[in-house]
Structure 1
Amino acid sequence: MPERGQPLRKLGFLTIGRFAADDPRPGIEETLEVIERAEALGYDSVWLRCRHLQAGISSPVAIMAAASQRTRHIELGTAVIPLGLENPLRLAEDLATVDLLSGGRVNPGVSVGTPMLYDHYKTELYPESHALQDFSKERVLRLLRCLRGEPVSDFAGTVGIEQFSDHVQPHAPGLADRVWYGGGRDSAIWAAEQGINYLTSSVVSIEGTASRDFATIQAEHIDAFRAAHRHPDRARVSQGLVVIPTDSATDDQVCRYREYAASRFDRTTTPQGPRGMLFSPDYVGTSDELADQLYDHAGFRRADEVAFALPFSFAAEDYAQIITDIAERLGPALGWAPAGA
């Protein structure tokens, strides 16, 4: 864990992959170029946000497939694929195929629950069975069984000249060990009990805690995950906050970045909704300032890798400046060294 003087082990970032709905190809190409640039800068990982029925990445597996052929070393993750819109068996086939193409670099982050705005399109997604769908964590377990090569069919053998397997093909060894799950304290404990990895983000639930401090709650969730994991020394935890370095930014960029953070600050002061969702403030400043703030952050001190989230609404040149400063200024201030250095 990165206390002062201890190096951050892995550095990554999360991108939303925005595009123009009336001309999506340039935006999709921009996402692939960002991934290529990230590898050139030495990042350990890039994570793709999944956004259905929006002008963003709706098929992260397809983006990872394309990125796998443009890169050689960087890990490719999803944060997260909502399994309510997926068939775990079919998703397992796609993930395994891309993982093999990438040489074992895929990190599937997943979530469960009723999909957002489900009532508006459930009959298109599941025409005959929308009222019967199970959106519980069992969907994650189904995916894990498929990725681990457990039987999914009661038949294996030859039909005519065709050979059939009783488990998902292709099989990608080790992929199941790179599955990630996010959520609050109960989800952290459940993920640990399944032996999968734990994603934390810029929002936490206050359920099960007396604290109203974001960093303290996030630290409690990570502690609960590690305490429940069978192999805590191998358990991976990734922290994701919105962190915007300004080292090489223009005055105009700095102004816009600070305005963006200020516009989102009110939601960080009070828990939101029935589950008490608490948002983290966004961090804007020089890399030295950000490093000091992160080392004072209880959640950051308990994670050994990060995937800083890029803001939603910035321009391509803003993202280029941010990811460059993170790699060349903030990462080294946190003791991180580029991959292959």
Structure 2
Amino acid sequence: MRPSWLPLVAALLAGCATIPRHGPAAEDNGRPSLRANPREVRALMALDPAAVTDRQAQEVLARFPAPRVILFNGVVAPVRMDRMAEFFIARGYPRASFVDPVSGRMSHSSRTGSRQWAGALPWYFEQEGLRPVLIGHSQGGMMVSRILHEGAGTFGPGLRIYNPRERRFEERRRFRHPRTGRMVDVAAYRTPLASAIATGKMMRVLLGQWKMVGPLRKVPDNVEVFIGVSVEGDLIGSDLAGAGSTHTYRPTGSARVENLVLPRTANHLNLPALTRDPGDPRSLLAGRLWRELKRAWCAELQAAHRGPAGR
């Protein structure tokens, strides 16, 4: 009897063959300025990033821009991270921080170039003053991990700045730190928050992504907070055929790594459709990501308004 999961694997492989390869793009899309009146800045600086309430996010943080959130889809086309974006937008996160200003999309293919994205992160920071957040589902989670490893030099040195507006690597390996004005090596860039949701080594093997089998669960130092999410009994997100997916991510150094394990009632394919329903296991993921997203939003804004004293 043919295993029930084989058709799904076939669909994944077919998806890999049909997804176009294209890199990120960016143009000015009217994002609000970091500048604000003194009263708004005082209210911002009084917040505790680790304990931002929804009301504070809507009444204080929403007066400022928010870090760009770069979402990566898995290879099954109908399951898109746009649904996750809409959840956070409904909670008060600015839509402009999700939308690609050129394509208008809120999520990206996990078949795009990881090295381009790694080079684009410091470019966005240089241009916008806030460091982007990375979140990926299934193969998109692998993409998040691979981008971090590209920036950390796992696959070799020499990463250059990538200009997503012009879709090309620039002839430089340093970026101007927007808070200090100093030129900084691209290797010193750190992502404030990243999350890989339901991704595993087994699919890396089946899809021929051998380069990521070893590094997948290792979290490098160029991310501050990393949330690894797995589902009990999830074959697609497991590391070995027939095994559960409760495999842990581990820091190689100073990154703060959290492993969130969802119950087996969570459906791998529906994870991007977050909900607040306490009876749905996706609410656990929604709550954790939303708390960390608010923390990163607040901390990035506070650092920007401290100027050279900020990170």
Q: TM-score band, normalised by the shorter chain? A: 0.3 to 0.5
Question: TM-score, normalised to structure 2's length?
Answer: 0.37
Question: TM-score, normalised to structure 1's length?
Answer: 0.35
Structure of larger gyration radius: 1
